[in-house]
Amino acid sequence: MTPKDETPTAAHLTGLQPSPADANRSDQAAAVLAQEPGEALTTNQGLCISDNQNSLRGGARGPTLLEDHILREKIMHFDHERIPERVVHARGAGAHGYFQVYKPMNHYTKAGFLQDPDVKTPVFVRFSTVVGSRGSADTARDVRGFAVKFYTQEGNFDLVGNNMPVFFIQDAIKFPDLVHAIKPEPHHEIPQASAAHDTFWDFISLMPESAHMIMWVMSDRAIPRSFSMMEGFGVHTFRFINESGKSCFVKFHWKPVLGVHSLVWDEAVKLAGKDPDFNRRDLWEAINRGQYPEWELGVQIVPEEDEHKFNFDLLDATKLIPETLVPVQIIGKLTLNRNPDNFFAETEQVAFHPGHVVPGIDFSNDPLLQGRLFSYLDTQLSRLGSPNFHEIPINRPIAAVSNNQRDGHMRQTIVKGRVSYEPNSLGGGCPMQRPWEQGRFTSYPQPMDGEKLRVRSDSFNDHFSQAALFWRSQSAWEKDHIVSAFCFELGKVEVDAVRERMLSMLDQIDTLLAFRVAEGLGMAVPKTSSGARNVPRTGEPEMDPALSMANTRKDSILGRKIAVLVADHVDKASLAVCKALEAEDAVIKFIAPRLGDIKNSAEEFIKVNHSLPTVGSVMFDAVFIPGGQQSVEALCEDAHAVLFVKEAYKHGKAIAAHHNGAKLIAQAARSAGIESGEFHGPGVITSLSETIDDSFVKNFISAIAMHRCTERPDLDAIVA
């Protein structure tokens, strides 16, 4: 049982609090640098500096002297202050928080942090894109990393996952090939952030095991609305082990409290220009507002005796366990409540490793997971330059650390005594091993039998059944978006043979899918070889509702950003809608033709948050147009305001207009060439009354909570 503790302090949450093993360090060595107002400027050795503007020279116009140790230290530090970026997951954003389990999980696992609902386990979470460099945009079509570091009393546990439950490959030996193929093509370093064109699709078209994952990547799951509105998955099958040593298989899920919501492709493309930091900014601002992002932790439990009862292999990372077969049990909640104090020291230096587990959690024989257990450790040694990366504050466990691993580059802990080996008697036998019965980690004694071979199990051979399940489970609009994504991405491919192979692969997933993509590319679906039709496949289950975002939660507008379009003399009465939205925890932003202040109809000043030329509807979740004759007329004459509304309509966003504010909606419809001269359909709410009607506000709130209205008329005809 994990000891109870209080709400984690800032030191706990950053891993900055020294563990008992660090107690022998001096206070100076253990201190964390904090810059306070009025502090004197010093060198890294604490020497106070009187002049930080000029190098030491031989005369006012003479040469700089080699003895200027202050200059050399400063330049040396600058030259080395950028560590190599991650090979993948280079662009990321992180936050601190805590995890609480809902009820003891001792029936399944002895992991201490999963036992006591009163304990808040500190965490640090890093979200990331996979392909792009640190300078790429947040909204590229890509997998998103979702890595959680739990600072438990039994050591750090890293749940290193993605926002998709499956992966491209089955065996880690193919990972270098995958990354080489998906990264910018080496002869010209193009394209950045998105998957490479010919090389990536050449690889995928020759790797049928990638069929399932590529369906996820072509769906809107690859362009999440925010980190707080995307799922997370452990991807691999792990083991839970209880006190009696009984094992079961487990899949980890993170379910966002706000539901699973995504951008549409046109939004993602425009956001890359309007605000390339859209997702990281959203995370930072939400935490600053006190609207803390939350996810519930779910697990799918499979008893060990049921390992082989499915028509897929639990060890295959290109497969998921359909929730219709094994429901997800919700067991706890993750809350992010504090932004990092320093991006580099925390978000950039945090080192995750799927091999960081605690007693009660162990690995399966998933061949992709087995390779990651080496790869992550090797990567940290390369990036962070030392086997002592675990002593960097953000990586430091709150559990005591005591072992015989001394010295090494950048060692921080000063270990006393002459004993650095085990067994020993000179140190009283310490540090000593502890048995499983005393809560220590022991690898699960899984029986092993077989010859040493380079082979893959036949149970890994069905590459298309779950890809087809994913396709069948999508709503009509989700299928439309998948087809459009394939047409866009394959339209960038220059080699005809690659496109033909991909169409053949899609034909094995679903004939209609292949036909629609081929039609969009102006090609015919190639004839599939007779041998390809003989690969294993199953049509069960027929559907899994959990695979469609159409079935996600749509009951909250917490943190939703509402653009309120205003100009001088906006009707004060109309603005009562803003207070009603704020009461539901929405975020109101006043958008006007110019910055500064405007006046409402009562001659009261309103501070403008953004000017129309600097933002777009893609940066907001909904639009409200208050009444006021002069305000609305000014907006109708502003091309940016007209585009704002037209674009919001095209993207299915909730649009509300009070009184004569509806004139701007009509102006946008005429600009879009709509014959009726008006936008109508789901999510367009207007009221011609001069007073605010309760039903008007309720309908607007409901439309915002839906995230997007996907069945509006005329969407395809609108160019915005």
What is the set of active-site residues? Answer: 89, 162
User: Residue 541 burial by CB count (10 A; 0-12/13-18/19+): exposed, middle or buried?
Assistant: middle
Q: Is the dihedral of CA 535, 538, 542, 547 positive or negative?
A: negative
Residues 6+ away with beta carbon under 8 Å from 504: 205, 514, 525, 526, 528, 532
* Partners of 294 in beta bridges: 335
CA distance 130 to 87: 9
CA distance 343 to 337: 16
Half-sphere exposure of 718 (CA within 13 A, CB side): 26
Cα 525 to its chain centre, rounded Å, is: 35
CA distance 142 to 221: 9
User: Residue 183 burial by CB count (10 A; 0-12/13-18/19+): exposed, middle or buried?
Assistant: buried
Q: Are 132 and 193 in contact (CB under 8 A)?
A: yes
Q: How far is CA 667 from CA 355, 636, 662, 672, 675, in A?
A: 59, 6, 9, 9, 12
Residues 6+ away with beta carbon under 8 Å from 221: 163, 164, 230, 260, 262, 549
Q: Is the dihedral of CA 615, 617, 623, 628 positive or negative?
A: positive
Q: Where are the alpha helices (DSSP H) in 561-710?
A: 576-583, 629-636, 639-650, 662-671, 694-705
**What angle in degrees, to the nearest 10, is found between the helix axes of 576-583 and 694-705?**
50
Kindly state the tokens that stand for 286.
């939400």
Three-state secondary-structure class, residue 652:
coil
Residues 6+ away with beta carbon under 8 Å from 56: 64, 65, 67, 68, 70, 71
Nearest to 130 by CA among 32, 213, 19, 253: 213
According to the 3-state scheme, what is the secondary structure of 415-484?
Answer: CCCCCCCCCCCCCCCCCCCCCHHHCCCCCCCCCCCCCCCCCCCHHHCCCCHHHHHHHHHCCHHHHHHHHH
φ, ψ (nearest 5 deg) of residue 491: -65, -20
Q: Are 322 and 540 in contact (CB under 8 A)?
A: no
Kindly state the tokens that stand for 514.
């292949």
CA distance 417 to 414: 10
